[in-house]
Structure 1
Amino acid sequence: MRRGSWAGRLGWGLVWVVAVVLALLLAAVLWLRATSLPRVSGSLAVPGVSGAVTVTRDQWGVPHIRAATDADALYALGFVHWQDRSWQMEFQRRVVQGRLAEVLGAAALPQDRFLRTWGFQRAAESALPALKPRTRQLLSAYTAGVNAAMRQGKVAPEFRILGFTPQAWTDVDSVSWSKLMAYDLGGNMDDEVLGSRVLKRLGAGGLDQVTAPYPAGAPTILSADEVGQERATPPAPAGGTPSGGVPLPDQALTALRGHLAAARALGLEPVPGKGSNDWVVAGRLTASGRPILADDPHLSLTSPMLWYLADVQGDTLRAIGASIPGLPGIVIGRNDRMAWGVTNVNPDVQDLYVEPTGAALTSRTEVIRVKGGADVSLVVQQSAHGPIVSGAGAEGVGERVALRWTALEPGDTTMDAFLDLNYARTWPEFTQALSRYVAPSQNFVYADIDGNTGYYAPGRVPIRRGWDGSLPVPGDGTREWAGYVPFAELPHTLNPADGLVVTANNKVLPQSGALGNERNWAEPYRAERITQLLRARGDGLTVADVQAVQLDTTSLVWRDLRDALLGTRPGSPLATRALELLRGWDGNETVDSVQATIFEAWLMQLQTMARDELQDQTVMNSLSVLNQLKGDGELCRDEARAVADCAALLRVTLDAAVADLGARLGDDPAGWTYGRLHTVASTHRAFGGVPALAWLFNHSAPTPGGTNTVNVARPEQGTFRQTHGPSYRQIIDLANPDASVYIGSLGQSGNPFGDHVTDQQRRWVAGQYLPMSTRPADWGRARVLTLTPAP
């Protein structure tokens, strides 16, 4: 050994220790890989199929399933879902069941308490008997496929790390995940909690300051002439003083904010700018003469990604698009004759009731098992309105607050609707499928190969008479739901005269009516920009044109705030340089833009202007910020920082923003490119915050887009990470359906050792797509697994 060599300096003993550790790590990785990666080629004899089924995985790992029967096709879908996403499926059902602490330990108890108190699993169990016979048959076939894959003995790395074996899948497990989606995408309990705080601290007029009403004249999904008939339900009060509400007691507010914190820990949270875009263009506006349909649902960007691309064909089933592991069928996509897309409507389908003393309550005891600890008993109470959510386990501290929510009502047939969509071939069949839809209410756009286009907003929407649902109400019987809006009276249109339907979580009808009050809707920026771009391209739209719209990152928020921001008097040399960089900016938020970094950092500061009044972590949306700046609003004032008006707030927030950026990125603003801070964060739900494992399971990349751009990518407060966005994109060409395209945000495999973990992410960031084709010629290098009946 040479004197002075690294081994000599460290000593042979340490070298051996390092070598042994590395060898053990390599052995562990090889063992995890060998015991977890599924078989994707060859032939497997499995129980439960009636004939041979081929699963051809294309070069991106997307399975193309071909079976002689629909039941066998969905059996195979369940099989490949478990092969590629077993941990995701297990985690999802444990979330619904409130059984996380059983495998993650006491740290998950707040989440389990929240989930058990709300009763997601009980609601799923009550939904199963209401489903149609065909749905039950196909659901059982899917379940059999999941369990057949489970018996193959390949175990996801997460199961090895946590040291447990998953139990057999059940039909209820498939129904249950829709309940969490309903929570993530529907309801307004969080708005009621915020509204109660605002009412107590700022008075009734404060609500419109903190959460701005939808602007008059801003785009609505349906125009007045498309609404058609008069609605049977009365209009809800719009803006101004909320009607019929009562403030929540402080103890109840604290408890409810605890529920919301538990939901946030699960990635279920209200996020400004979280939503979706979908639109459909009639054939008379396209180059081909046939419709084009686009969709990009904006959800949490997780690892693995929520969606699983699949092509499923049986004897009558012909569906391709985005599925969700754990659910049978295609959730968003097309079949051989029609296509559909979804965005969130967000009608007001939740109400908090402050129950009077002496209200009749029922009780049950839930037992939560805790890894490494003693079992925890949880008493859950329920009133006539729903579960008591005013405390963890409803121990009876303070006034009792109950939740009524459409997704917890019995008889939920949403699973029927989604499976029937896979089979629908005409507008009447499409609407018949949606008549079974309950929650979460979605904007469905429609197109078929015959040239028809349409829109429907299905789901149970409560009728409230004389109150708007924006605040908690007394549970004394004076504020009860008067049934649901009849399906035929829900917003819809077929072949609209202007040939265009655009939805971006914006207001649905010119008059909100029973759908909600004027604060229910997303800001109009995305809808306005999509419509602007589509109309600017004239009547020869192509798939490439629609792709450009879907990927647009120009900020209309900047357009509206520009004059106020550029009129600021900076308080430091660094702020002066930053302000000069913003002059002349076109608002395009690309990864190499310095101006995008400055703008979003400044906007973040402005969005916190209500925190001194509310004494919490409220983040106002950009429309509320705009209203305050335009009117020199009261929320601009901050005595603690000696801020007397909006002009002073602009100076203080600009200084704070550039100081923060300087600390993160250095003193030269020319180097503050957006991609250095703004990265997509696809985070693992269990191990994303565990340093020893996060590197293996989390995935990130610089991304364009920002607050309320069409390609939405709102930076997270404090971190600048993009945690929500277009979780899936599709553009469907009804002139040539196999020329359609789609893409997910990460990859098909949930196994960190798999071949298709992140191979879609690079294309997703770059604005590229995969062929949404049922033709083998478009699949590239393929691997074929054949499932045959076990003897």
Structure 2
Amino acid sequence: MRLLRGLGLLLFVLLLVVFAGVLYARKVSNPVVSGSVQLRGLTGNVTVTRDRWGVPHIRAQASDADALYALGFVHAQDRLWQMEFQRRVAQGRLSEVLGDAALPQDRFLRTWGFYRAAQSALPALSPRTRTLISAYTAGVNAAIAQDRLPLEFRLLRFRPERWTDVDSIAWSKLMAYDLGGNWDQELLGQRVVARLGAAGLDAVLPPYPAGGPTILSSQELGSTGHLGTPGTPRTGLAGVTLPAGAAAQLASQLAAARSLGFVNAPGKGSNDWVIGGQRTSTGKPILADDPHLGLSAPMLWYLADVQGPTLHAIGASIPGLPGIVIGRNERVAWGVTNVNPDVQDLFVEAPGAPLQSRTEVVRVKGKPDVKLTVQWSAHGPVVARSDEWGDRQSRAVTLQWTALETGDTTFDAFLGLNYARNWTEFRQALGSYVAPSQNFVYADVDGNIGYVAPGRVPVRTPGWDGSLPVPDDAAHRWTGYVPFSQLPQVYNPQDGLVVTANNRVAPDTYRPFLAGNRMWAEPYRAERILQLLNPGHPLSPADVAAAQLDTFSLVWRDLKPLLLATQPDGALSTQALALLRDWDGHETLQSVQASIFEAWLAQLQRMAQDELGTPAQPDATALTSVAVLAQLRQDGPLCRDTRAGVRDCAQELTRTLSAATADLAGRLGTDPARWAWGDLHRSYSKHGAFGGVSAIGWIWNRGLPTPGGTDTVDVARPEPGTFRQTHAPSYRQVIDLSNPNASRYIGTLGQGGNPIGSHYADLQRLWRDGQTIPMSSDPADWGRSETLNLRPAR
């Protein structure tokens, strides 16, 4: 009884804390959204009208700088904690507020130097960009001065510092990491070659299928003069075997990055496409985009409509970054997906190689400061060091990466897109783009469409493919970058269609992107989108929106004959196979076959673990669907597992089906007819600081049953071991160039950062169910609204 009373008292105290937090959040941290405020730094009047979904429509009279000032102000009003957390990640200053549990993350972030890279980028930007960033910074600081801080600051007992211009660049470096690297594949590649030989690389990390769709054809590249300069084909896989100590250091950094949500997982990707007017029911282009990123709470994106005298942009912004990242203005629209060129390389420096160094102090909440020495070479940061080489001399492992180099003008490109009025200005803006390389699709109100894949793509010395760590010698050099004029691009393609789904950009006739690249997404999403966009009749905006939500599994189509030929072992396996025989392949919420298929596929994706071992990250050695298919078709060696008594792929299919059904029975009960996909597969939007704290994480975290699966167009690959959906279409847009205000968009949760606010998660069910809200700058489309007037302080 005494224990029960104690537990009851603890629960009572916890409820009081939560209740107090709720009162605080309601009274203090909710933004002021109506009335009038006077703010220093404005040059003229600005109105901020929030529509019924909390989307701000900013109207600045005097200057575009005032419009960006207001964007900074509303970003900080609604998402100040998100902005604070993001900049502390970029700075490597999480331990100051979270304690020594965040030290591994801070060490990784300081070692790589993300914030130092942001500092070096600022001077390279154009005067216009610098002016607009400074205006945005002033707006953020004006909101901080209002002293309506989110609940997180109260719980962690600190106040935010003033925002700086570098802070507005810094998060873009982490986005570049999330979207633009393969250093972890180099580590895996080394592991594969060491254990399976060079031939094993194609089994574990297979090249893009020969018949898979490419974004551009040889004819499209050649007809526009952008075929590229043929390069030297791959001549070998010679690399350096990293000793255990260096590999362990790199694995530790990889684990730290993954704990922050930066995961290069199979199935992570995005879709965008543009359709010419000759294919549409409106007679004008339709442009669609749905970038697939890690789910977070609050959501990454912030929808906004920003207008000044010459700036008229609406779409998805990111709190902390000025401008619209994906969207449209009154004349042109654009969308992005990840290109995935190989822009990272690990080098082993020679003994005694010249290095620069500095000592950084990591402040730790409640603990003594920690001093960290960071070093870098001409290639980039020293990411590991070891004296375990054959000659027992100390060598540094360094990383060369385009996003860490000086002179990054990517911000010029994004702000330039906000202003672009035609194809020429669009391409001019993208000429400044550095990293992470993206597939940009384009459309304008005059009926033109196009595509560009900008960014710095290194040209390597002949014979080196970039797939493994290499020595720092004359045979392994970056000799320059692919010129912008030779990067893949096309304007008004003859067939009136450009589709991108992180698939291979171009066929073999275009070589600069191909050497060593094993990062292309599997062809399934691109192939399915092409099927959906060639229905034999003109496409409407509704048809395009429906294509974004497609849950048909082409992976199932390919694996079906192999899986259905399996010899079942036990009653559950027999019942599961019987259910699969009649499945139409759509991974809907109600489908029990989707649960069986995804659970089985997850087991098959682990077939290389006995050969490669089980690293700290459970999906680090997970095979792609293409790799699984190849092994099953060829009765490949990865199927065999002598410890488990598995001699061939037939036995592996029996074993994995039995394991999958046993797993499902443990989660959902022993009746396969009740294994609905929606009962197993849920989105998981996690708060960055408190999401993993069981006592209070529920206040911020959000989730609900979701459709889709591995490599469906509505991509929803389940997380290994949990079946949670941690990556998703983070934003959707369908832009109708015949009537831009009829365009639609949506985010995963809501506009607000206050977990009890009305706009924290009011878009979540709409997003899950495929609904959208008006992407309109017309007040008639905004519904009930509230207006805040921003006035210059006198």
The bucket for the TM-score relative to the shorter chain is: over 0.9
Structure-1 separation of matches of 2:690 and 2:244: 35
Aligned to 2:477: 480
Aligned to 1:4: none
Aligned to 1:401: 397
Helix, strand or coil at the partner of 1:246: coil
AA aligned to 1:626 is L
Aligned to 2:486: 489
Equivalent positions of 1:67-146 (< 5 A) are 67-68=60-61, 69-146=63-140
Equivalent positions of 1:348-497 (< 5 A) are 348-391=342-385, 399-464=395-460, 465-497=462-494
> In the alignment, is the contact (CA less than 8 A) between 2:35 and 2:789 conserved in 1?
yes
Structure-2 separation of matches of 1:179 and 1:113: 16
Helix, strand or coil at the partner of 1:159: helix
Taking a change above 3 Å as real, the CA distance of residues 567 and 64 of structure 1, as seen in their structure-2 partners, is same
Structure-2 separation of matches of 1:14 and 1:646: 53
Structure-1 separation of matches of 2:732 and 2:228: 36
Taking a change above 3 Å as real, the CA distance of residues 15 and 547 of structure 1, as seen in their structure-2 partners, is closer
AA aligned to 1:718 is G
Aligned to 1:29: 22
Helix, strand or coil at the partner of 1:154: coil
> In the alignment, is the contact (CA less than 8 A) between 1:242 and 1:471 conserved in 2?
no
AA aligned to 2:451 is Y
Structure-1 separation of matches of 2:134 and 2:258: 32
Helix, strand or coil at the partner of 2:372: strand
Name the TM-score, length of structure 1 as normaliser.
0.96
Structure-1 separation of matches of 2:608 and 2:232: 27
Percent of aligned pairs sharing the same letter: 66
The yes-or-no answer on 1:515 pairing with 2:508 is no
AA aligned to 1:509 is A
Equivalent positions of 1:741-752 (< 5 A) are 741-752=744-755
Structure-2 separation of matches of 1:106 and 1:513: 47
Structure-1 separation of matches of 2:539 and 2:519: 32
> In the alignment, is the contact (CA less than 8 A) between 2:226 and 2:485 conserved in 1?
no
The yes-or-no answer on 1:659 pairing with 2:662 is yes
> In the alignment, is the contact (CA less than 8 A) between 1:284 and 1:539 conserved in 2?
no
Give 1:640 deviation, angstroms: 0.8
Taking a change above 3 Å as real, the CA distance of residues 17 and 557 of structure 1, as seen in their structure-2 partners, is closer
Give 1:244 deviation, angstroms: 4.1
Structure-1 separation of matches of 2:637 and 2:13: 65
Equivalent positions of 1:478-557 (< 5 A) are 478-511=475-508, 513-516=511-514, 517-536=516-535, 538-557=536-555
Deviations 1:141-177 (A, max 9, x none): 0000000000001011111111110100000001111
Please, which moves more after superposition, 704-713 or 360-369?
360-369
Give 1:25 deviation, angstroms: 4.2
Structure-2 separation of matches of 1:233 and 1:520: 21
Structure-2 separation of matches of 1:407 and 1:166: 27
Structure-2 separation of matches of 1:680 and 1:582: 24
Structure-2 separation of matches of 1:582 and 1:201: 36
Aligned to 1:647: 650
Give 1:17 deviation, angstroms: 8.8
Taking a change above 3 Å as real, the CA distance of residues 387 and 330 of structure 1, as seen in their structure-2 partners, is same
Helix, strand or coil at the partner of 2:716: coil
Equivalent positions of 1:324-339 (< 5 A) are 324-339=318-333
Taking a change above 3 Å as real, the CA distance of residues 265 and 19 of structure 1, as seen in their structure-2 partners, is closer
The yes-or-no answer on 1:704 pairing with 2:707 is yes
Give 1:430 deviation, angstroms: 0.0
The yes-or-no answer on 1:614 pairing with 2:612 is yes
Structure-2 separation of matches of 1:305 and 1:503: 24
Give 1:477 deviation, angstroms: 3.0
Give 1:605 deviation, angstroms: 0.3
Equivalent positions of 1:584-603 (< 5 A) are 584-603=582-601
Please, which moves more after superposition, 398-407 or 148-157?
398-407
Give 1:295 deviation, angstroms: 0.1
Taking a change above 3 Å as real, the CA distance of residues 727 and 202 of structure 1, as seen in their structure-2 partners, is same
Give 1:362 deviation, angstroms: 1.5
Structure-2 separation of matches of 1:718 and 1:574: 20
Taking a change above 3 Å as real, the CA distance of residues 397 and 74 of structure 1, as seen in their structure-2 partners, is farther
Helix, strand or coil at the partner of 2:459: coil
Out of 203, 213, 222, the residue aligned to residue 219 of structure 1 is: 213
Structure 2: give runs of 5+ residues left out of the alignment.
616-620
The yes-or-no answer on 1:764 pairing with 2:763 is no
AA aligned to 1:277 is N
Structure-2 separation of matches of 1:202 and 1:115: 33
AA aligned to 1:490 is L
Structure-2 separation of matches of 1:775 and 1:15: 54
Deviations 1:569-609 (A, max 9, x none): 01111110011100021110001100000000000000011
Aligned to 1:691: 694
The yes-or-no answer on 1:56 pairing with 2:52 is no
Structure-1 separation of matches of 2:448 and 2:244: 53
Give 1:384 deviation, angstroms: 1.6
Give 1:624 deviation, angstroms: 0.5
Give 1:24 deviation, angstroms: 5.6
> In the alignment, is the contact (CA less than 8 A) between 1:204 and 1:242 conserved in 2?
no
Give 1:379 deviation, angstroms: 1.1
Name the TM-score, length of structure 2 as normaliser.
0.96
Aligned to 1:634: 637
Structure-1 separation of matches of 2:371 and 2:428: 44
Structure-1 separation of matches of 2:29 and 2:772: 29
Helix, strand or coil at the partner of 1:502: strand
Out of 576, 579, 585, the residue aligned to residue 578 of structure 1 is: 576
Aligned to 2:735: 732
AA aligned to 1:43 is S
Give 1:232 deviation, angstroms: 4.9
Deviations 1:213-268 (A, max 9, x none): 11112100001100113655443646xx7534222222221111111111000001
> In the alignment, is the contact (CA less than 8 A) between 1:665 and 1:671 conserved in 2?
yes
Give 1:26 deviation, angstroms: 2.5
Structure-2 separation of matches of 1:200 and 1:539: 53
> In the alignment, is the contact (CA less than 8 A) between 2:278 and 2:496 conserved in 1?
yes
AA aligned to 1:472 is P
> In the alignment, is the contact (CA less than 8 A) between 1:252 and 1:399 conserved in 2?
no
Structure-2 separation of matches of 1:290 and 1:347: 32
> In the alignment, is the contact (CA less than 8 A) between 1:231 and 1:489 conserved in 2?
yes
Structure-2 separation of matches of 1:639 and 1:19: 55
Give 1:755 deviation, angstroms: 1.2
Structure-2 separation of matches of 1:15 and 1:105: 29
Structure-1 separation of matches of 2:416 and 2:381: 31
Structure-2 separation of matches of 1:236 and 1:586: 45
Deviations 1:18-75 (A, max 9, x none): 7776556423421232121111111001111111110000000000000112111110
Structure-1 separation of matches of 2:666 and 2:113: 45
Helix, strand or coil at the partner of 1:459: coil
Structure-2 separation of matches of 1:43 and 1:550: 41
Helix, strand or coil at the partner of 2:25: helix
Out of 775, 780, 790, the residue aligned to residue 778 of structure 2 is: 775
Taking a change above 3 Å as real, the CA distance of residues 28 and 541 of structure 1, as seen in their structure-2 partners, is closer
> In the alignment, is the contact (CA less than 8 A) between 2:714 and 2:729 conserved in 1?
yes
Aligned pair count reads 780
Out of 152, 157, 169, the residue aligned to residue 151 of structure 2 is: 157
Please, which moves more after superposition, 100-109 or 398-407?
398-407
Structure-2 separation of matches of 1:113 and 1:189: 18
Structure-1 separation of matches of 2:792 and 2:226: 56
AA aligned to 2:520 is W
The yes-or-no answer on 1:171 pairing with 2:157 is no
